[in-house]
Amino acid sequence: MKSDGKVLLVGGGAIGMLSALLLGLSGRRVCVLDKEATGRESSWAGGGIVSPLYPWRYSAAVTALAHWSQDFYPGFGQRLLDETGVDPEVHVTGLYWLDLDDEVEALAWAQREGRPLFSVDVAEAYQQVPVLGGGFKRAIHMPGVANVRNPRLVKALRAALLAMPNVELREHCPVTGFIQEEGRICGVTTADGEIRAERVVLAAGAWSGELLKTLGLTLPVEPVKGQMILYKCAEGFLPSMVLAKGRYAIPRRDGHILIGSTLEYAGFDKTPTDNALESLKASAEELLPALKDAEVVGHWAGLRPGSPEGIPFIGQVPSHPGLWLNCGHFRNGLVLAPASCQLLVDLMLEREPIIDPAPYTPARLLD
């Protein structure tokens, strides 16, 4: 890649903005395009747990990205705060899983991978999380798990990019297609006209597959709707994240409690529903009975970029030189973002990659 070559990032979520930040820090000229305001889709809507919900159920490809990213977040959050004044609130609380069906597999995974996940007496879980609902029989605990306040993370990333003279943000600029000349992708078409660059990175989340269709390419990335609700409690009400029966509770530092999440295949519909609201409230009250008397202060839906096995596509599209992908992270976009973006930049700049890039190559499933 030419040292002065311009890179277009299509998609201004956490993946797109962090890719742009790393490319910008390497001295490249970067332009980030987003159809709306940056960071307002799944990056804003998710819970921000810096771990897959059930890490032992994923392939080694997801595990490799997650391990690298988990170690990256605390220092990264502090750097963003120092540089932008916006605190992403990387909050280390640990996580309790309760009454898991596959607890044996979880503990075997932890031993194999060298991760700090332990079986604990359920009495310990109740001692550490006194507001926990009754009736749980078993618990496992990972003490170092953090959550990041994702709306503030994307706000901090945006502020960091705006401060960089070699990075441009173009919001409310939907991309309609790609410019292809002499067998190469050399830019995109937008409602505002053509924008050209040496390379184009598609990081448009759930919309990535739709954009690739304009090139006659089929990528198995599809929207998967997730709904969440938010309560406001006293600070310190919930000292640890907890997860049971597929639903989780995430505490923020100021007492807000996130409860999530549904998993719905409903196309690009992001409408919150009453059925999901009632289901999430029931889960919340089973996990934390005191929430029965608390007010739901937020209810929203977002669209995850679903992909086979949740393995993202990272790398150049072989049939279309100049076009790169960083998409398809499914439920783990924020978890995997640091490693995914570093791997992309390593490949683009022909550096030694942080991990083996083979499992993520777009060629594996792109038709």
Given pLDDT bands bounded at 50, 70 and 90, which one contains residue 5? Answer: confident
Segment 32-48, tens digit of pLDDT? 999 999 999 999 999 99
The reply to whether the predicted model has a pTM over 0.85 is yes
Residue 367 identity:
D
Q: Is 1 part of any domain?
A: no
- DSSP annotation of 239 reads -
Is residue 110 located within the same domain as residue 227? yes
Q: Is 57 part of any domain?
A: no
Planar angle of CA 245, 247, 251, nearest 5 degrees: 135
Token readout for 188 is: 């995109």
Range of the domain at 332: 6-47+152-221+309-364
* Strand residue runs (E) in 214-312: 222-232, 241-244, 247-251, 256-260, 296-306
Share of the chain above pLDDT 70, in %: 98
Task: Say how many domains are in the chain.
Answer: 2
Largest CA distance in the chain: 67
C-alpha to C-alpha distance for 165 and 196, rounded to whole angstroms = 19
Given pLDDT bands bounded at 50, 70 and 90, which one contains residue 71? Answer: confident
Please determine, for residue 236, whether its predicted confidence score (pLDDT) is greater than 80.
Answer: yes
Is residue 180 located within the same domain as residue 271? no
Cα pseudo-dihedral 330, 331, 337, 339, rounded to 10 = -80
Task: Determine the average pLDDT of the residues in 330-341.
Answer: 97
Task: Determine the average pLDDT of the residues in 310-329.
Answer: 97
Q: Is 68 part of any domain?
A: no
Planar angle of CA 345, 49, 287, nearest 5 degrees: 165
Q: Single out the residue of 244, 280, 299 nearest to residue 129, CA to CA.
A: 244
Is residue 10 located within the same domain as residue 125? no
Q: Is 71 part of any domain?
A: no
Is residue 212 located within the same domain as residue 246? no
Please determine, for residue 367, whether its predicted confidence score (pLDDT) is greater than 80.
Answer: no
Q: Is 181 part of any domain?
A: yes
Token readout for 222 is: 């599809």
Task: Please give the distance of CA 359 from its chain centroid, rounded to a whole number.
Answer: 18
Give 225's strand partners: 264, 303
Give me the pLDDT at residue 366, please: 65
Segment 122-175, tens digit of pLDDT? 999 999 999 999 999 999 999 999 999 999 999 999 999 999 999 999 999 999
Q: Single out the residue of 84, 49, 17 nearest to residue 252, CA to CA.
A: 49
Segment 260-299, tens digit of pLDDT? 999 999 999 999 999 999 999 999 999 999 999 999 999 9
Task: Determine the average pLDDT of the residues in 94-119.
Answer: 96
Q: Is 73 part of any domain?
A: no
- Spatial strand order of the sheet with 199-202 comes to 167-170, 29-33, 6-10, 199-202, 323-327, 313-316
C-alpha to C-alpha distance for 209 and 55, rounded to whole angstroms = 26
Is residue 173 located within the same domain as residue 301? no
Segment 179-192, tens digit of pLDDT? 999 999 999 999 88
Is residue 170 located within the same domain as residue 267? no
What CATH number does residue 179 fall under? 3.50.50.60
Coil, helix or strand for 333?
helix
C-alpha to C-alpha distance for 328 and 174, rounded to whole angstroms = 19
